[in-house]
């Protein structure tokens, strides 16, 4: 025991305990299931456990923090959609997809109309198409 104690000098108690538990449960790779581990085998496993514990104890990088900007993500998407269709005339506002489908099926919307689902707005054809017609 004195030799084993000297060989384990510098290792934490937790590393020694974990090594003993791993040998007792048969979790050490290439361990003999018939014989107790020799002192060098035990110390080698205790050192592996110590390395693992040291790695686990390292400081971690803080997770990235979300900082809210002046607009929420859905507000940004709304602004982009409004800008995308700003050159088109507004035909209808605050309608749902079912209503848009019904109007299309009834052919009550001009050809080239666009429905911005995120806005609930139906935009008419581009002004170039209106001038050409």
Q: What is the pLDDT of residues 66-84, one digit of tens each?
A: 888 888 888 888 899 899 9
Using the 8-state DSSP alphabet, how is residue 66 labeled? P
CA 64 to chain centre: 11
Q: Which two tokens stand for residue 113?
A: 């109309």
Q: What is the pLDDT of residues 87-104, one digit of tens each?
A: 999 999 999 999 999 999
Please tell me the pTM assigned to this model.
Answer: 0.45
Q: Which residues pair with 121 in a beta bridge?
A: 116
Q: Which pLDDT does position 38 carry in this prediction?
A: 85
Using the 8-state DSSP alphabet, how is residue 63 labeled? P
Does position 133 have pLDDT exceeding 50, yes or no?
no
Of 111, 116, 114, 115, give the one whose Cα is nearest residue 129: 111
Q: 3-state SS of the chain: helix, strand, coil percent to 5?
A: 50, 5, 45
């Amino acid at each position: 025991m004195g030799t084993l104690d000297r060989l384990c000098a510098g290792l934490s108690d937790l590393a020694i305990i974990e090594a003993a538990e791993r040998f007792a449960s048969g979790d050490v790779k290439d361990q003999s299931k018939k014989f107790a581990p020799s002192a060098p085998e035990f110390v080698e496993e205790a050192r592996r456990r110590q390395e693992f514990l040291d790695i686990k104890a390292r400081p971690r990088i803080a997770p990235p923090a979300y900082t809210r900007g002046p607009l929420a993500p859905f507000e940004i998407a709304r602004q982009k959609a409004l800008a995308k269709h700003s050159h088109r005339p507004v035909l209808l506002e605050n309608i749902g997809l079912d209503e848009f489908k019904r109007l299309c099926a009834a052919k009550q919307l001009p050809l080239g109309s666009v429905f911005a689902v995120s806005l609930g707005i139906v935009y008419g054809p581009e002004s170039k198409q209106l001038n050409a017609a």
